Structure 1
């Protein structure tokens, strides 16, 4: 064979469909977005997407538009021609209706195979009135069913066809049915609608191109309340770069190569956790060409934490107008190595870095303003500090305010903790260091939080330790019958030492008359109650009544029964609106000793179920020590490796189980 006679040809394997559709468009949003793009290019005024109620054998997704449709010949020459380039074929970057063409690669038609095994196309030509219905089965296209993979052409099954019909032209448009779905679950309509909107910049042209999902239009719902700063609108005087002009909230400027772009960046109040929202998206001819990213910036930039709060959009049509295609096949990435893309990459890096620095300063300013407002209630406490101390604390709070990852609520808590720590002589060196810090990194913040947690736990543990030692001394004195009346008086004045859960209670004196009136009929006539010490505490809507019997008296059935009726009577009086805002009444009776006749233990158990209790001094103080001990163990576990906490756990006569276990 001579050189002239030798022939070569390119054969396209049917499995190429796997790469053009199945592998690249495995999410329903990505797949259907490509079909919506085709509807835009077909000059459709409306596209409707209908999602199935569930994923079953007969479930289908339907995409229908009101575009120009296709004749039988156009189905062959355009739709069924792999790699058909609408722009070159029509020698225009615009559709017949004047829209910038989105499609370029001629493979978006296969996107449906990413989520379905069968695609049915039903199209009516607005030009001729022809109606053509055909179907594409992925099994045949990839050669899984009949060996087509080795052939060069495949007959497509035409389900229905009717020739030119003038009356049908008004019904022009295309409907695509995706069947034999490969989805694992039905897409959520609301999230699908939002995700679809984020793949396009179409809101400005919604009057001429409407996309509906399950009957509702897609909408990029920017929650204004969640946005803290929006640029370029929020540039202060003198901050905006030269050449930036405003256009309906968007910035317009020219790159170094003369190409025009439009952009808008938002900083949210809280970190963004949605992958498709966090970062800068780039669009060309209204369609996504670069998924959200940060222009490949690496660490070491000022205000880098702000990337967690930043979301932005850039409209750069020129990226899609280059002779060489710069956008990846699945329209997720731009080829940033290409010369035409370099000016946009450089602009993006500069703009993001500059805005991160501005954001850091603005964030700090807003936190400082909030801090000043929140510190106002603490002004009296601050006023007690020496002047140089106030300056140190204020510097520390300002430095803390610059830490972007701290929310307003967290900042308020930490600011209050700093003030409390300083007042208590805690963390003074650390707070002073914090005040000297110009910019705090995450490691420094974590160090402060760890130390703060340890010191706060230690501070609380010291108080608990005092209570434990005090209770142990009280128990011993009660056993020895020493200072009995003084002990009772002290407990009456400091009831919170008996139980950590009473720490928020305060003495309530407004009900003295009511208590006396109810008590006269319930208790005062009974031996053992006259001359007793009683106490009424309150916390919120809860009322706690503590009755101490006279020394030397043993409580019996009658005493417990009278106490029970007393609490019931008081509850009725409260319900009768004679007790103000209180809605709950509980009671505790304390005696030197309790009789233990048959059934008495069950009686006490019944009282507890009704919000009442009766106990002796040994039981009261023993339970108190156990509760405070449990509280100490919890505090110890917050800083078990801290030497100060370990020393505290081993000090005195009241050691903890936790310290012994360490």
Structure 2
């Protein structure tokens, strides 16, 4: 270029092809499209928006009673792509005449109508003047090809029917984008606005029926609810909620104007959040200025923990759409620019609140699900009661997790409980019960653990048998070494299965033992015990049976009459106590554990048998040596053949 040449002039133009990207191909569903039309009605200070859908899906009509538009408004605002109301309308751009915060911002929303219809008619009335026009996708395409401006076709005055506000009629509907009908549309629109209702003076109707907050369908699915400070749902919408707690509405370091509102909740089962019409409710929607701003912020949290499968919620965060800050909504207003500091702060805040939520939810689930499971399965309740305190909490967590897995048939759930208990007992013996409970995060993972049930049960019973044989050897050592009486007593009563394998679940009764001590049956005085040649006596209950076990010193020689007299005294006093508790025919057994045989065992076994029966049916004498040999034989057989496991152990879960 020489110095004498003129400076070139440059010009930027926008082709009508932009409509292909910003309108016709930008939106994918009818709810998103109608959201833009409803938002425009809100900005026009409408109190009511009427949506009517042709039963044959030939047309859709959206009519509002807002301030309407003049010809200049239609040309300068509605037909002007990119009109930025908040910046260009000094008087009511950010706040409407009614004081509403304006929802519109980019000036692109009206183009979304082309996503679902090929022909659009717009008519509007303002200050008594009514005007309208028709736009069509073929007409726009023709203007694009001829590289000329597009001029919508004016509507004849006799076809104009609106007398107040604006009416938009969509023709030549693209049926593939209509979704699943009016009922589904009602639910989906309800989930896109938080300003619906009398409190905000704004009503949306579809075919004459108002959309309500109840149409959102999420809150009725909630079992546990967390509300942000200052947010109070209507009482009738949360009457079913089992537990509720409040969460902070902001970080302390935030700007004073920054805070959130709304609620978070968890369903009892993930499938409860499946809604064929409203879509999957497993997500947290974010509103700003009363309209959907982000469809599901939960996806952005990258939290893969199990509890997220139960989450739903609605959060209002107006600071994401502040007038004096850059617009961070994407063109379709379904998502946001994720590198914006406001959004990053929201994600950080939600993450901190969800950590608190998960911890509380686990506590509540263990409480409620375990109680529910115990009500439906008494055997499960009985099993939990047999566990030491250290294991019981882990077991309750396991039951709560199993109850939440997606199983429709209750018989299948009981089967799952049964297999879970087997696995828990197996892992408990190996010292890894807590690890097993933690691993149960899904049905697939549980099935992997329980893939071979027979092998699992066999290995469980092998472990039980091994531990029992080890215990028998330890007991033999205690007797052979003539251990202190208290050691002998404690060991036997900690391993009552040595007396009878069916006594796996026999339990003590501190209250009853106290009563027996008062009655003089249980003796705490060591001098008196030595006089009687007694190691100790203890009381147990087992499946409705009352069992009194009397231990004698290994070297003490007892007479039959002495045993009968003691046994009858025990029974009489226990009967007295039980009758006071309205047990008129209790089943009582007295078992004497001796080191030396009584004479009648060899000389007169019939007399021995009748004497024991005179104490109470089932009463008997057991010898330390015989007890050990019998237990060794039973558990050695069991070790050789786990197929007989139900006959040699009281660990029974078949009826859980």
Mark yes or no: TM-score above 0.5. yes
Q: Distance in 1 between matches of 2:428 and 2:312?
A: 34
Q: Distance in 2 between matches of 1:443 and 1:14?
A: 53
Would you say 1:106 and 2:107 are equivalent positions? yes
1:291 aligned to which of 289, 295, 320: 295
Match of 1:203 in 2: 196
- Give SS of 2:260's match: strand
1:59-109 deviation per Cα after TM superposition (whole angstroms, max 9, x unaligned): 111111111111111111111111111222222411112111010111111
Gaps of 5+ in 2: 235-245, 459-641, 644-656
Would you say 1:309 and 2:313 are equivalent positions? no
Matches of residues 137-286 of structure 1 in structure 2 within 5 Å? 137-141=136-140, 144-147=141-144, 150-151=147-148, 153-161=149-157, 171-184=163-176, 186=178, 187-205=180-198, 208-221=201-214, 222=217, 226-232=221-227, 244-248=229-233, 253-255=249-251, 256-258=254-256, 259-271=258-270, 272-274=273-275, 275=279, 277-286=281-290
Match of 2:567 in 1: none
- Give SS of 1:110's match: helix
For the 8 Å contact 2:223–2:267, the answer to whether it is kept is: yes
Q: Distance in 2 between matches of 1:207 and 1:159?
A: 34
Matches of residues 252-651 of structure 1 in structure 2 within 5 Å? 253-255=249-251, 256-258=254-256, 259-271=258-270, 272-274=273-275, 275=279, 277-294=281-298, 296-299=300-303, 304-321=305-322, 322-376=324-378, 382=383, 395-402=394-401, 405-406=404-405, 428-430=425-427, 432=429, 435-437=433-435, 439-442=437-440, 446=444, 448-450=446-448, 452=450, 454-455=452-453
Match of 2:25 in 1: 23
Shift of 1:264: 0.7
- Aligned CA distance change for structure 1 residues 42 and 445 (closer, same or farther; 3 Å): closer
Shift of 1:401: 2.1
- Aligned CA distance change for structure 1 residues 310 and 404 (closer, same or farther; 3 Å): farther
- Give SS of 1:253's match: coil
Q: Distance in 2 between matches of 1:427 and 1:399?
A: 8
For the 8 Å contact 1:393–1:419, the answer to whether it is kept is: no
1:589-647 deviation per Cα after TM superposition (whole angstroms, max 9, x unaligned): xxxxxxxxxxxxxxxxxxxxxxxxxxxxxxxxxxxxxxxxxxxxxxxxxxxxxxxxxx9
Q: Distance in 2 between matches of 1:441 and 1:325?
A: 44
For the 8 Å contact 1:15–1:149, the answer to whether it is kept is: no
Shift of 1:287: 0.8
Shift of 1:6: 2.6
Shift of 1:360: 2.4
For the 8 Å contact 2:395–2:424, the answer to whether it is kept is: no
- Give SS of 1:294's match: helix
- Aligned residue pairs total 431
1:398-428 deviation per Cα after TM superposition (whole angstroms, max 9, x unaligned): 4232457426877885566655897xx9985
- Aligned CA distance change for structure 1 residues 366 and 377 (closer, same or farther; 3 Å): same
Gaps of 5+ in 1: 234-243, 461-646, 649-662
Shift of 1:374: 3.5
Q: Distance in 2 between matches of 1:426 and 1:90?
A: 69
Q: Distance in 1 between matches of 2:355 and 2:146?
A: 51
- Aligned CA distance change for structure 1 residues 371 and 12 (closer, same or farther; 3 Å): same
For the 8 Å contact 2:263–2:314, the answer to whether it is kept is: yes
Q: Distance in 2 between matches of 1:436 and 1:458?
A: 17
Q: Distance in 1 between matches of 2:274 and 2:31?
A: 19
Q: Distance in 1 between matches of 2:208 and 2:455?
A: 56
Shift of 1:257: 2.9
Match of 1:616 in 2: none
TM-score (norm 2): 0.58
1:523-582 deviation per Cα after TM superposition (whole angstroms, max 9, x unaligned): xxxxxxxxxxxxxxxxxxxxxxxxxxxxxxxxxxxxxxxxxxxxxxxxxxxxxxxxxxxx
1:492-516 deviation per Cα after TM superposition (whole angstroms, max 9, x unaligned): xxxxxxxxxxxxxxxxxxxxxxxxx
Question: Cα RMSD between the aligned structures?
Answer: 3.7
Match of 2:75 in 1: 76
